[in-house]
Structures are given as C-alpha cells and as structure tokens.
C-alpha cells in the first residue's frame, strides 16, 4: 500500500475586474489519502500537509483548518521537509512505501 498525494493548487478567476479565489483559505499544501485496514477492509484516511520554510508559522486560518481536519478524524501535518513529513506519517502508524524521502 502506498500513499496517494497531490498538490493543493490554488486558483483564482477575475470577476468584474476583481480576483476571486476558488480555494478555501487555510488548506494544506499537499493532500494525501493514507491507507488503513480495519477488519480486513481497506479505507482511506484524509490528510493534509502544510509545508513551512525557515521560521514561518501557521496563519490563524491554517490553525483553524487544522483543528477541523483533526477533529473530523483526519490527519494534518506541519512539516519543513520530506523527512519530517515521512516521520510524522510513520509516527501516526501509517507506513509509507512511496518515495517521499
């Protein structure tokens, strides 16, 4: 079992001369589906990874969205590099066999 992952692309369109975002603020940069077997049946757990660099930290909207995801049974990880992301996934009991680090 691997981990399905894709970039959360941000899109915007111009309406009456103004740019309007089509994306929800606060969502993670990477969306993942983490495999979990329960009673022999395979399920996918929703997850998001927020990528940070340097000394940057989460915005209030990102922290609020993180709480929504986690309180709904999903996984939300804040990582500064692939190794941090992989370690967090493994700490949560998901074994990654895909090349993410």
Q: For position 98, what pLDDT does the model report?
A: 52
For the chain, how many structural domains are there in total?
A: 1
Using one digit for the tens of pLDDT, what is the confidence trace for 38-53?
899 999 999 999 999 9
Residue 21 maps to a domain: no
Measured in whole angstroms, the distance separating CA 24 from the mean position of its chain's CA atoms is: 13
The edge-to-edge listing of strands for the beta sheet with 41-51 is 4-7, 30-38, 41-51, 75-79
Its pTM stands at 0.79
Cβ proximity of 101 and 85 under 8 Å:
yes
Residue 16 maps to a domain: no
Please count the residues of the chain: 101
Structural domain for 33, as ranges: 26-91
Residue 59 maps to a domain: yes
């Amino acid at each position: 079992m691997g981990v399905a992952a894709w970039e959360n692309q941000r899109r915007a369109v111009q309406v009456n001369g103004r740019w309007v975002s089509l994306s929800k603020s606060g969502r993670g940069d990477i969306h993942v589906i983490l495999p979990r077997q329960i009673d022999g049946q395979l399920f996918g757990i929703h997850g998001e990874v927020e990528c940070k660099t340097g000394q940057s930290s989460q915005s209030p909207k990102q922290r609020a969205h993180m709480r929504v995801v986690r309180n709904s049974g999903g996984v939300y990880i804040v990582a500064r590099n692939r190794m941090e992301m992989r370690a967090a996934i493994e700490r949560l009991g998901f074994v990654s066999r895909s090349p993410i680090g």
